[in-house]
Structure 1
Amino acid sequence: MAHTIRQAVASDLPALLALYAQLKPGERAAPDGAATAAWAEMLANPCMQVLVAQVEGVPRATCTLVILPNLTHGRRPYALVENVVCDAAFRRQGLGLGLLHAARERARQAGCYKLMLLTGSKAAGTLRFYEKAGYNRVDKTGFVQWL
């Protein structure tokens, strides 16, 4: 499917919230004051990039890339990918894979020594998707502590 990948802009907030509502059912899909403030903070953060894959000008998939400074590994930064979601009507068409490849390239350009991703999904198809994108489940063990 023909799509373009770009960094999100302020006007993308309603489309992103609609995508996040698919990721986390029950999330508010319409912008409110708190979402607008958080979005402004995200856009102003030089360590954070929200990428979108758009089809016919509409964001249909997104992921967040965070590049963090570091004192180990020759002071090379590392990167995290989070909030990966593709509109259900546009899955299996290359948008998500394109986004993850774009995130990897941006992390490489920033000099990162690793790129990490956690998923809460146990679905075999989702795990295969991340493996197809180049991630593995062998090298590290992930832990989460909810606050």
Structure 2
Amino acid sequence: MIIRAAIRSDLGAILRLLRDLGDATHAQSGTVRMSSAAVRAWTRIESDPDRSVLVAESRGQIIGTLDLIVVANLTHDAQPWAIIENVVVDAGCRRRGIGRALIEDALDRAARAGCYKIELLSHEDQHDAHGFYKAMGFAYSAEGFRRYL
């Protein structure tokens, strides 16, 4: 297995994985709908030097993904911080160290970018994920709020 930055040809596989997050961009037949909105979003993502979509690849198959965003900052001596989003490992490949490898790669990239912290949010119902994140050294440190627009 390798962890690498995603490329445009990975988009379909990434969208397939994101189905597990309840993303509504997929057809009910289980096939991935490559919408023009997704392609436009990917174009923006791949041109952003502060954003990395990582993939875990094994035997030519994308089996995990993670989105890392480095955020410019005015506090902490202008050191950036990072956020991890959209962590997904293929259901048939879980508990094999793939999520750990993705997180470790993201932590390394954030450290190399000079980030002083890295954050992630996980839905309150994802108890297994919470245990995993704690095992990776993340601490529960804030109460989160959202407002959907």
Q: Under TM normalisation by the shorter chain, which class is it?
A: over 0.9
Question: Do the aligned residues in 2 keep the contact of 1:52 with 1:61 (CA within 8 Å)?
Answer: yes
In the aligned structure 2, how far is the partner of 1:25 from the partner of 1:46?
25
Task: Report the Cα distance in structure 1 between the residues aligned to 2:33 and 2:103, rounded to whole angstroms.
Answer: 26
1:146 partner letter: Y
Q: Is the 1:20–1:27 contact (alpha carbons within 8 Å) kept by the matching residues of 2?
A: no
Once the two structures are superposed, residues 43-102 of structure 1 have per-residue CA deviations (whole angstroms, 9 ceiling, x without a partner) of 011111000011112111000000011111010000000001111011111101110111
Aligned partner (choices 6, 9, 12) of residue 7 of structure 2: 9
Find out whether 1:84 has 2:87 as its counterpart. Answer: yes
Which residue does the alignment assign to 1:37?
40
CA distance in 2, matches of 1:15, 1:25: 14
Number of aligned residues: 144
Deviation of 1:121 after TM superposition, in Å, equals 4.2
Equivalent residues in 2 for 1:1-147 (5 A)? 3-24=1-22, 26-28=24-26, 29-137=32-140, 139-147=141-149
| Partners of 1:100 and 1:10 in 2: CA distance | 21
Alignment RMSD, CA only? 1.2
Using the TM superposition, give the Cα deviation of residue 26 of structure 1 relative to its aligned residue in structure 2, in angstroms: 3.8
| TM-score when normalising by structure 1 | 0.93
Shift of 1:25: 5.4
Partner Cα separation in structure 1 for residue 124 and residue 105 of structure 2: 22
Runs of 4+ in 1 over 6 A off after TM superposition: none
Q: Identity, % of aligned pairs?
A: 38
Kept in 1, the 8 Å contact 2:81–2:117? The answer is yes
Q: Which amino acid aligns with 1:118?
A: L
| Structure 2 SS opposite 1:79 | strand
In the superposition, the TM-score normalised over structure 2's length comes to 0.91
AA in 2 matched with 1:109: R
CA distance in 1, matches of 2:124, 2:10: 26
User: What secondary structure, in the 3-state scheme, does the structure 2 residue paired with 1:5 have?
Assistant: strand
